[in-house]
Chains A and B, each alone.
Chain A
Amino acid sequence: MNFLPLSFGAPMVLWGLLALPVIWWLLRLTPPKPQTETFPPLKILARVLRKEETPHKSPWWLTLLRLLLAALVILALADPVFNPREKIAVEGQALAIVMDNGWNAAPDWERRVATAERLIVDAKESDVPVVLALTAEKPAQDIGPFNADTALERLNAAEPRPVPTDRLSVYARVADALENLPGATLAVLADGLAGDEDEAAFETLLAVQLSDLLWIAPQGLSTVALTDTANEPERFLVKAVRGPDAAAPRQLIAYASDEKGRRIAETTIAFGPGAREAEGEMRVPFELRNDFATVALEGENHAGALRVLDENARRRRIGLLSQNEGDRAQPLLSPLYYIRRALSPFADLIEPSNPALTEAIPELLEQKPAAIIMADVGTLPDSARQSLIEWMENGGTLIRFAGPRVAAAGNDETLLPVRLRVGERSLGGALSWSEPQPVAEFPASGPFSDLTPPRDVAVNRQILAEPSPDIVERTWANLADGTPLVTGAARGDGRVILFHVTPEATWSNLPISGSFVEMLRRIVQLSRNQGSLTSETEDDAGRLAPYRMISASGALVPPGPEAEPLAAGQTPRVSLENPPGLYGSEEGVIAHNLLPADATLQGLARPQAPVATQTLRYAFDTSRPLKGPLMAAALALLALDTLAVLWLGGMMPGRRGRRAATATVAAFTMGLALAAAPDAARAQSPQPQDAEAIAAISATRIAYVVTGVSSVDAVSRAGITGLSRFLADKTALEPGEPAAVDIAADELSFYPLIYWPISTDAPMPTEDAIARIDAYMQEGGTVLFDTRDQYSSGFGSTGSVSPETQRLRDILSGLNVPPLEPVPDDHVLTKAFYILSEFPGRYRGSQLWVEASLNAPTRTDRPVRTGDGVSPIMITGNDLAGAWAIDEQGQPLLPTVPSDPLQRVYALRAGVNIMMYMLTGNYKSDQVHVPVLLERLGQ
Chain B
Amino acid sequence: MTGFAETLWAEILIFFRPALFNIYFAAVSLAIGFVLAVAVAFARNGKNPIVSHLAAGYIYAFRGSPLFIQFFMFYSIMLALNAVWWRPLGISGVVMHPLFIGPLTLVMNTVAYTAEILYGALRTVPRGELEAARAHGMSPLQIFRTVTWPNMIRIAWPAYTNEVVFMFHATALVYLTLPVVGNQRDIMNTARFLFERDYNAILHFSVAGLYFLVISMLVFFVFGRIYERMMRHLSVNQDRPRLRFAPKYIR
Please determine whether chains A and B interact with each other in the same assembly.
no
Q: List B residues at the A interface (Cβ < 8 Å).
A: none
